[in-house]
Structure 1
Amino acid sequence: MFTLRQAVFGLFLVFCLTPWASPPVALALGLVLAQTVGNPFTAHTKTLTHKLLQFSVIGLGFGMNAHAAVQAGKQGILFTVVSIFGTLVLGYFVGKWLGLGRHVVHLISCGTAICGGSAIAAIGPVLRAKDEEMSVALGTVFVLNALALFAFPPIGHALHMSQNQFGLWCAIAIHDTSSVVGAAAAYGNQALEVATTVKLARALWIIPVAIGTSLMFKQKDVKVKIPYFIFGFIGAMLLNTFVPAVRPLGPLLTHLAKIGLTATLFFIGAGLSAAVVRSVGAKPYVLGALLWVVISIASLYVIIHAI
């Protein structure tokens, strides 16, 4: 027999797999579940979220053109470099002002600067961060991600941003890949292509930042976790561009990837219970919110006036 929690979870998940669900709706359903009956499969969804996001991102590559992606990547590289280092420096000083521990400050700053939970998961072992420090950083980033997914598309429409502008803004100002792709997909296909390409190029900065972290914090004999799924995305994009036999499969694989992304956001929302949100405390949210607001407004201003 199914319990009430399992039945509600199953119904919500099935709805997220239908054409009527969108990434923001899926996240909202997950949040509703977390605040009411709760997630009955917490351990399973945590593991599945990571894998499903990776496969979904690879699948999106089958709907993209390598030539357009290179152009988008060139356009976003200067924004990427300036915003990453600016965020890390600002995070250091704001964190010091708030009196937060160096590890928590660096994890939240890296999550904001690069790619949310993936960056935190990669940088944490380099820092030899404690479990509670990782939890605080991840909780902060995931809550702000949820807000961004709902807030960005209406702002983009209100400012009459082009598909290219909005995709670039999402890639720079939203932390996690899942929310970047979700917000961009809600705005349009071109925004999705630009956002995914720039965000994944940005995610590769995990490697130099992790190496810099090990030197700055004087950590020895640590392994850097490389986001290999990015190379899967690149491979899928190259196949779709240069192998004609693959192109007919592109629409199907892209459709399945978008469904996978929608389910991923449902799982993320289902993990954000009130207890998780409260456990973080106020100061990490202040740090995360300040960094997020600064990078969002600064990048928005530059993109609107320069792109």
Structure 2
Amino acid sequence: MPLSRPAVTAALPGVALAVAIGLVATLVATAVPVVGGPVPAVVIGAVVGWLVRRRSASDAGAPATAIGTASAATASGLGALQPGVKFASARVLQFAVVLLGAQLSIGEVLRIGGETLPVMLSTLVVCLLAAWGIGRLLRVSSALRTLIGVGTGICGASAIAAVTPVIGAVSADVAYAMSTIFLCNIAAVFVFPLLGHALGLSQHAFGVFAGTAVNDTSSVVATATVYGRQATDTAVVVKLVRTLMIIPIVVGLAGLEARRTAREQAASVGAPGRAGGVRVFRLVPWFLIGFLVVVLLRTVGVLPAAAAPGFSTAATFLITVALAAIGLSTDFAALRRAGFRPMLLGIALWVLVAGTSLGAQAVFGLL
């Protein structure tokens, strides 16, 4: 649905600030590739948002301790920036997911997927089940354990970007999930190559390991590059195929969310729920349909392979801008209330996924 001119005008300040933060974060990623752009964008956005709200509260004469104590206060504290921040954190993020499809063709999926699919499915199933079970034991909220689970099991920031609008995750949950993923990515760059050499993994085996057990693309590349060129080539392809797991996961989550909403609506009017009547096409977010269309266009040659790096760069930048906006709206009080449990969940999932990847390769004869 196109935006009206007043809506565009209202959104400009917030979008401009998110883009500026995204550019700074991209410069950080260029200087330190292992860090990537999304995490610095969240951090810088969160700091800038906190400063904006603090100044706004100070101008209004409100006590500093009241800042960020509620989502409504967070939104009002951003003032004129709020419409643009909301737009960037939702629409821009969804469009970035569409562009990710340009990195894949059906041929690549069939060629690499047949060999690595059992490993990818094993790590994904273990990760999601563990996220649900361990997350419940640690009393981590449903939305946050979902974000950490898909971020660890699929593809870091891209999976979090795809799932966030489907489950209606709040900015504090997104920021915490991103921080957890970032911590594990940094550890992987240093630990995984040492582990690979200690286990005597071949270049191909380590590439599959890095592609299935490291979350973010930049960190996959950094981790595999330390091991060798062949490992890097394998890891990148495995990682791109792994990105396709976003589709069934998001469709499934959309279905669960639709059923939950239908039950709540039925209960509120005292009528029996009709969750089973939800139409399938209404469960599929528009940006995932766009993602599949772009994959098809890449396969038939409308989008040449030479254009893929440009689309990938654009998608990464848009995700960075969207996460800058999410950082701007981050509620620090909610982060403090979350405590250490979500981080502990993320580390536990990271270890389980790494172990499952190696175990699955051994079982399926890939080591």
* TM-score for both structures, normalised by structure 1: 0.68
Task: Tell me how far 1:149 sits from its aligned partner.
Answer: 4.2
| 1:287 and 2:337 aligned | no
| 1:145 and 2:163 aligned | no
Q: Deviations over 1:61-98 (max 9, x none)?
A: 3xx5x444312211232223333333333333323322
Partner of 2:120: 80
Decide which moves more: 12-21 or 202-211.
12-21
Equivalent residue in structure 2 for 1:193, among 237, 259, 274: 237
Task: Tell me how far 1:9 sits from its aligned partner.
Answer: 6.1
Partner of 1:258: 312
Task: Tell me how far 1:295 sits from its aligned partner.
Answer: 1.6
Equivalent residue in structure 2 for 1:204, among 240, 243, 248: 248
Structure 2: any 5+ residue segments left out of the alignment?
1-12, 53-80, 226-231, 264-274
| 1:231 and 2:275 aligned | no
Measured at CA, do residues 87 and 55 of structure 1 come closer, stay the same or move farther in structure 2, by a change above 3 Å? closer
Contact 1:95 1:287 in 2 (8 A): yes
CA distance in 2, matches of 1:114, 1:290: 15
Q: Deviations over 1:82-141 (max 9, x none)?
A: 3333333333332332244556555654554456325644762xxxxxx5x655653442
Partner of 2:41: 30
Contact 2:25 2:320 in 1 (8 A): no
Contact 1:120 1:138 in 2 (8 A): no
Aligned residue runs from structure 1 range 44-193, under 5 A: 44-47=87-90, 49-61=92-104, 66-100=106-140, 105=145, 108-109=148-149, 112-114=152-154, 116-118=159-161, 120-121=163-164, 124=167, 134-135=170-171, 137-158=173-194, 159=196, 164-165=204-205, 168-174=208-214, 179=216, 181-186=217-222, 187=225, 188-193=232-237
Other structure's SS at 1:33 match: helix
Measured at CA, do residues 42 and 82 of structure 1 come closer, stay the same or move farther in structure 2, by a change above 3 Å? same
* Identical amino acids, percent of aligned pairs: 16
Partner of 1:243: none
CA distance in 1, matches of 2:127, 2:289: 24
CA distance in 2, matches of 1:19, 1:142: 15
CA distance in 2, matches of 1:15, 1:120: 22
CA distance in 1, matches of 2:138, 2:220: 33
Task: Tell me how far 1:196 sits from its aligned partner.
Answer: 0.7
CA distance in 1, matches of 2:94, 2:25: 21
Contact 1:52 1:260 in 2 (8 A): no
Measured at CA, do residues 111 and 74 of structure 1 come closer, stay the same or move farther in structure 2, by a change above 3 Å? same
CA distance in 1, matches of 2:131, 2:253: 14
Q: Deviations over 1:261-307 (max 9, x none)?
A: 44145336534468274354333333333223322333245448834
CA distance in 2, matches of 1:163, 1:139: 34
Q: Counterpart amino acid of 1:199?
A: T
Q: State the structure with more CA Rg.
A: 2
CA distance in 2, matches of 1:206, 1:166: 28
Measured at CA, do residues 182 and 279 of structure 1 come closer, stay the same or move farther in structure 2, by a change above 3 Å? farther
Task: Tell me how far 1:44 sits from its aligned partner.
Answer: 4.2
CA distance in 2, matches of 1:7, 1:139: 18
| 1:306 and 2:366 aligned | yes
Structure 1: any 5+ residue segments left out of the alignment?
125-130, 241-245
Measured at CA, do residues 122 and 18 of structure 1 come closer, stay the same or move farther in structure 2, by a change above 3 Å? closer
Other structure's SS at 1:24 match: coil
Other structure's SS at 2:35 match: helix
